[in-house]
Amino acid sequence: MAIKLKAEIRNAAGKGAARSIRRSKNIPAVIYGEKKSPVAIELNGRDFEMLLQTPSLRTKLFEIDTANGQEDAMLMDIQYHPVSDNVMHVDFKRIDVKKPVNVSVPVEVINVETSRGIKMGGVLNFAVRKVALRGLVHDIPEKITIDLANLNIGDSVHGSDLVLPAGVELGLHQAELAFATIGGKMADEDTPKAAAATAAPAAAATPATDAGEKK
């Protein structure tokens, strides 16, 4: 679902104009891309701060209403103040909703506690926590989930194993990446047999008691 956002067109540019916007508790921003001229805009500071609580905000389509019409865009960058951590500037990139976009989304693992490998003493190595995807913006998921329930020690989940929505494909060089691995050493199932085999020759080597020696 698209996020609708209202913005004012900024007629003045430069640091002085940006500081004036921030003093009014609003946020300077820009929309660029799609071979069109950049548009400087002003966002309502309170509304945008509330939006920051939205999960996977960078995978969402923004429908930005301005005096020049609606702009379809995606969030590309947020600049924060180094001390106060307030939002200083926001960059949006125009997109064509009919064309695929390249987006990185978070990867999440589930059923860690019930995983076969973990129960056997294995250790989870969750190495890659984001995956690059390509697809129409409306088809891009907020996250990709890896189910560890049936994984044993030594098993890995590569990019090629990820379950993707219809119409969405992996980005470049993602298929061969090992996103999650359960490491550890498998218990030797033959250990009891090996111990018994070792004990048998030892027993055979023990001198038997000769009844005649007791006389």
Q: Does some domain include residue 137?
A: yes
Q: Which of 63, 94, 125 is the last residue of a domain?
A: 94
**Mean pLDDT throughout 152-179?**
97
pLDDT at 13: 73
Q: How many CB atoms lie within 10 A of CB 35?
A: 5
Q: Strand 69-80 and strand 130-135: pairing?
A: unpaired
Q: Does some domain include residue 84?
A: yes
Is the model's pLDDT at 186 over the cut of 80?
no
pLDDT tens digit string along 45-69? 999 999 999 988 999 999 999 999 9
pLDDT band at residue 212 under the 50/70/90 scheme: very low
CATH number assigned to the domain comprising residue 58:
2.40.240.10
Q: What are phi and psi of 115, to 5 degrees?
A: -60, 135
pLDDT tens digit string along 101-114? 999 999 999 999 99
Is the model's pLDDT at 210 over the cut of 90?
no
Is the model's pLDDT at 190 over the cut of 80?
no
**Mean pLDDT throughout 177-206?**
64
Is the model's pLDDT at 76 over the cut of 50?
yes
**Mean pLDDT throughout 21-42?**
94
In three-state form (DSSP H/G/I as H, E/B as E, the rest C), the secondary structure along 160-199 is HHCCCCCCCEECCCCCCCEEEEEECCCCCCCHHHHHHHHH
pLDDT at 16: 82
SS3 label, residue 130? strand
Task: Judge if 90 and 105 occupy the same domain.
Answer: no
pLDDT band at residue 14 under the 50/70/90 scheme: confident
Q: Does some domain include residue 213?
A: no
**Mean pLDDT throughout 112-126?**
95
Task: Judge if 7 and 84 occupy the same domain.
Answer: yes
pLDDT at 12: 74
Is the model's pLDDT at 41 over the cut of 70?
yes
Q: Does some domain include residue 201?
A: no
Q: What's the rounded Cα separation, in Å, for the pair 124 and 151?
A: 10
Mean residue pLDDT of the chain comes to 88
Q: Does some domain include residue 211?
A: no
Report the percent of the chain where pLDDT is more than 90: 79
CATH number assigned to the domain comprising residue 116:
2.170.120.20
Q: Does some domain include residue 85?
A: yes
In three-state form (DSSP H/G/I as H, E/B as E, the rest C), the secondary structure along 45-113 is HHHHHHHCCCCCHHHCCEEEEECCEEEEEEEEEEEECCCCCCEEEEEEEECCCCCCEEEEEEEEEECCC
Q: Which of 48, 71, 94 is the last residue of a domain?
A: 94
Helix (H) or strand (E) holding 16: helix 15-23
* Residue-range definition of the domain harbouring residue 111: 101-183
SS3 label, residue 207? coil
pLDDT band at residue 192 under the 50/70/90 scheme: low
| Cβ atoms of 159 and 177 closer than 8 Å | yes
Please give the structure tokens belonging to residue 140.
């891009």
Is the model's pLDDT at 184 over the cut of 50?
yes
Q: What's the rounded Cα separation, in Å, for the pair 42 and 48?
A: 11
| Cβ atoms of 31 and 24 closer than 8 Å | no
Task: Judge if 21 and 78 occupy the same domain.
Answer: yes
pTM of structure? 0.78
